[in-house]
Structure 1
Amino acid sequence: MKFTKLVNSIRNTHSELYLAAAKAVNQSLTVRNWLIGLYIVEFEQQGEDKAKYGEKLLSHLALSIKIKGLSETNLKLCRQFYIAYPNILAAIKTMFENKGYLISQTVSDQLQNTNFENDTYQKSLHHQFNSDHIKPEELLTKLSYSHFLELISISDLSKREFFEIETIKNTWSVRELRRQINTLYFERSGISKKPDQLSKIINEKAERINPEDIIKSPFTFEFLDISPKDVVYENDLEKALLDHLETFLLKMGHGFCFESKQKRILIGGEYFFIDLVFYHRILKCHVLVELKVDEAKHEHIGQLKTYVNYYKKEIMQKDDNPHVGILLVTNQNKALVEYAIADSDQQLFVSKYLLELPSEKELIAEIQRENNVLREQEEIYKKVAKDNYKR
């Protein structure tokens, strides 16, 4: 066997089985969430003690099951997923029967005895099964759960099916699907004199689905009970700087209380991660820190302001003061600090908040100091490696 053939054999085997593993994990995640949605709807419609929980059902459920990734918000998404795609039932049954999935008799009986009477199910079932273009089996095997979360926001069944077909046919990534929904591709295609040409232009630049996108999805990490930090920390320099900043701010002695690292928040159906979150006990507000090992860009400031406004709307308590955002941008040439506040009165911010927060000069100096230390360590490692190689 030639060496080149050996290399290709190993690469091809890895790629095929990696893809198979990604698909298997995704299908299991999708089926689990669909079944959870089914159980919730069945309880809401037929549960003997449903009145006991009422509108607080999902919050009570999240606290009771204590399963990572199944928060009240995610349980709500499971329910929406089932309501939007009840026709997947046939595909799930087939998958269990043909592929030998090991499920308990309770789950099997639940699937066999489920009675669908709601209008949403009947309309969706009629629409999907009368389509010549797509079947439930294709939906389940070719779309990730993250794809489904984008699609369930579309109430128009014809429009949703259009994006299902386009996503499957062109293997769109989740980001590409979201982009095409937001740029009104469906509407533009409807009024275009040459829809095929429009489709060709769009798909020449479309972002394709990548197995790593599935594996590194926050949903997958939670489903497998794996820490999601590897999804975010892809840059060793960034991780080292964040670890140092956390320690530095806590040692400032001005009331910083550490709350979270890589804090995940949900905005408009999309997950975002805030690098560091503190609560300042003197200022009585959250302090959100974003670090970018990159040049300063307008979208960085916009992103930070979005996080601050999210905290103002969703997290802020009555006795809290407006939350603060600190953007740290660093590269080899310069460091930059920008502040954002959930209040339009910047003068108040300058006069009051900076008395307790580290100054721009202090933050820049600390970033540069740590940057220099890390680069010196990097040079030492390189020299040691070079010396070992010579030996």
Structure 2
Amino acid sequence: MKGFSRANLFYMRRFAEAWPDPTAIVQHPVGLLPWGHVIELLDKLDAPDLRDWYAAKDAHHGWSRSVLAHQISTRLHEREAAAPSNFAGTLEQRDSGQAQELSKDPYALQFLAVDSDVSERELEQRLVDRILETMRELGPGFAFVGRQVHLDVDGDDFYIDLLFFHVEQLRYVVIELKTTTFDPRDAGQLGFYVAVVDDRLRIPNKHEPTVGILLVAGKNDTVVRYALASTTQPVAVSRYELTEEAQKALPDEATIARAFADELDRSTGRTE
């Protein structure tokens, strides 16, 4: 066979080393992925279990290569289902685990291209303006219902920042935004919104209980734990990040050597 670049041959060898059993590869999630996705896994992950974890997520959700790269760079495996919540105490056991899967901690909102001085209304507007990226970060299954959703409670007006419906779990998800550090009163406000939505919008025997997710600029996890213990509605609290973390490592020696060799081949016109 002809036409393979030097870099591609190196990737093929790395692929064979990473998944050495040729008889099982077709049953493995990585066997369902395009070659470009396999390269992302090889370049960005060293641990075999993490490669398998992201390969399975990619195959299940049908991510694009850019989405896969984003999920790896923002360490989805550490953030998924990680937000402190009171779901275990406020939902039935069969449901609390599912509800917890809807959360992340922190949420990676770097795509909004705003700084820490942004106001709550501006942050909310940016999330709606970039709704596709917002939905990607929230996770699969979220459907956008509305922004500043009006609640009329016996003549008193209240407005939910963002309201979603999860089409797989069949439940409403209320999201409130705070550009400040978590305050226990925030959990009470969100719990109130969850209770109203659950009573006014949820269809009994068809929809699962409504849950709330509070996104804050910072939090003291001990304060969050005490606040959630006194909240009767199912609520999770998560931090959001608006800026990329600084790169902590240079490319390894093998990566530099491959890049140098590829550039040398191009400059000399070698093809073999």
TM-score class normalised by the smaller sequence:
0.3 to 0.5
Which of the pair has the greater relative contact order for Cα pairs under 8 Å at 6+ separation?
2
Indicate the structure with greater strand content: 2
Whichever of the two has the greater Rg, that structure is: 1
TM-score (norm: length of structure 2): 0.37
TM-score (norm: length of structure 1): 0.26
